[in-house]
Amino acid sequence: MEAFQYLYNGFASLSWMNIFYCFLGVFWGTLVGVLPGLGPMAGTALLLPLTFKMDPTSGIIMLAGVFYGAMYGGSTTSILLNMPGEVASIMTCRDGYQMARKGRPGPALVIAALGSFVGGSLSILALMFFAPPLAQVMLKIGPGEEFSLMVLAMLLMSYVSDTSKLKTLAMAILGMLLACVGMDPFSGFLRFSFGYSEFAEGLGIVPIAIGLFGVSEIMVNAENILTMEVIKPTLRSLLPKWKDIKDSGGPIIRGSFIGMIFGFVPGISHVTSTFVSYAIEKKLAKNPEEFGTGRIEGVAGPESANNATTGTSLIPLFVLGIPAIPATALYLSALLVHGINPGPQMIQDHPQVFWGLIASMYIGNILLVILNIPMVGFFVNLLRIPYCYLVPTVMVACICGVYGASFKSIDIVTMAIFGVIGYLLRKFKFDLPILVMGFVLGDRIEMSFRRAMSISEGELSVFFRSSFSKFFIIAAVVVIVLQLIAWLLGFRRGQQEDAD
């Protein structure tokens, strides 16, 4: 009950100016999320200098609004154009875009907004109740536990892949190899850069994702651009049916809890939670072969997980001073500029900032629903534009988004190259999300493994010492055994023959 008293004080301390900054943050975050490639990182970086002269509470409230607002907006272009507004919306493309092609973009957008609201709200509750006690628990998450968890995530994603095991393995290895491009974090030597200093910092996830999913989609559709029919959604098709709401209930709750769990762990990207959520929903479905063809569960689960990560990802920042995902690193800078040192004492020393932020997040989630639901009809009308006119606009948005994320011209070239690669991989029916998963987790798996081995002086027993690591390894073994059993019984072979 003490937490509710603090929350009441947080609401009481909010001024109309703080609420205005909250609205400004979520509005800007939504716009940034809709543009392909510009995620919370770029949106926050653009507004960060404005907070230096502001009250600390107001500044943090506005930046947090950009954070979860961008998560909301990222689903729009993923569903309508198969282009992830930000990287965490990649899994939304699979079924959301197929729903749009079938004339049902409205239900996909509405369920995505509702799932985002539920996931964001539950993550705020987790932030409110679990931030102080989880400080000690998260201190026990070392490199060994992190390595085991990420290996488990890779196995889960490969378990639900529709392609053959060989193709799945090839995509995972390719993604992990791409993650090795750049400077070795331990030795400082350049790897796989082929003499180009532009690749010293590695390849960017934004140009790879936009190229694989966005540019390749344009190239595939260009083959039939003259025969493609313009989608004209009706008013009735804008609203989800009762069956859509019923089918989405379980995925929204499960995705929210998955997102909250991954948000707790420093270093685990919010992208991972969406992949795991999608994998679990596909395994729980009565007809898993229908995933990727326009199932509402494939939108509800990942979108809920995506936004549920936002609240709990702030816990490592506030109680440990460790940014859980890249976007929260900018909040660390904002806190330090205002003389606030994140750590176990932050909540006690600066309660007005912490509880004011939590109160504003409740208001911000409500504002986002008010902003996004009425805009569904407007966004859906984008599908009425003939594709031959839409392509140039989309390509310009992709180029601006990729360049604006890092201001590197090499990223535009990277996007184009991976657009061609994505087109070829689609033609040969490879699973693109596996490649992205391997890239996202590749450097983290390498770093965690090498740090763990360095700490243990080469002893592999470091991965079996803690209960967390043992649990993750046992779960990974169970996944492998289930795959072997399914293969021996012929289930996986049947799926792979159909996919090939």
CB 207 within 8 A of CB 414: yes
Mean pLDDT of the chain: 77
* Strand, helix or coil for residue 427: helix
CB 209 within 8 A of CB 436: yes
> Is a pLDDT exceeding 50 seen at residue 197?
yes
> Is a pLDDT exceeding 50 seen at residue 195?
yes
Residues 116-142 have pLDDT tens digits of 888 888 888 887 777 666 656 666 667
> Is a pLDDT exceeding 90 seen at residue 421?
yes
Residues 212-236 have pLDDT tens digits of 877 887 787 777 665 555 555 555 5
For helices 297-312 and 242-264, give the axis angle rounded to 10 degrees. 30
Domain span including residue 151? 2-499
Residues 6+ apart with CB under 8 A from 454: none
Higher pLDDT, 377 or 107: 107
Alpha helices in 288-408 (DSSP H): 297-312, 314-320, 326-337, 346-349, 351-372, 376-380, 387-406
DSSP calls for 13-45: H--HHHHHHHHHHHHHHHHHHHSTT--HHHHHH
Q: What pLDDT is attached to residue 497?
A: 47
Q: What pLDDT is attached to residue 94?
A: 83
Q: Span 71-92, mean pLDDT?
A: 76
> Is a pLDDT exceeding 90 seen at residue 85?
no
> Is a pLDDT exceeding 50 seen at residue 498?
no
pLDDT band at residue 451 using 50, 70 and 90 as cut-offs: confident
> Is a pLDDT exceeding 80 seen at residue 154?
no
Alpha helices in 131-241 (DSSP H): 134-138, 143-159, 165-179, 205-209, 216-222
Q: Give the single-character DSSP code of 182.
A: E
Is 0.75 topped by the overall pTM?
no
DSSP calls for 454-497: HHTTT-GGGGGSSHHHHHHHHHHHHHHHHHHHHHHHTHHHHHHH
Q: Which residue has the tokens 């961008």?
A: 70
pLDDT band at residue 494 using 50, 70 and 90 as cut-offs: very low
Residues 19-37 have pLDDT tens digits of 888 888 888 888 777 766 5
Residues 225-282 have pLDDT tens digits of 655 555 555 555 667 788 888 888 888 999 888 888 887 766 556 777 888 888 888 8
Spatial distance between the Cα atoms of 90 and 299, rounded to a whole number of angstroms: 10
Sign of CA dihedral 385, 389, 391, 397: negative
H or E element: which one contains 418? helix 409-427
Q: What pLDDT is attached to residue 269?
A: 60
Q: What pLDDT is attached to residue 127?
A: 76
Other C-beta atoms lying within 10 Å of the C-beta of residue 128: 21
The total number of structural domains that make up the chain? 1
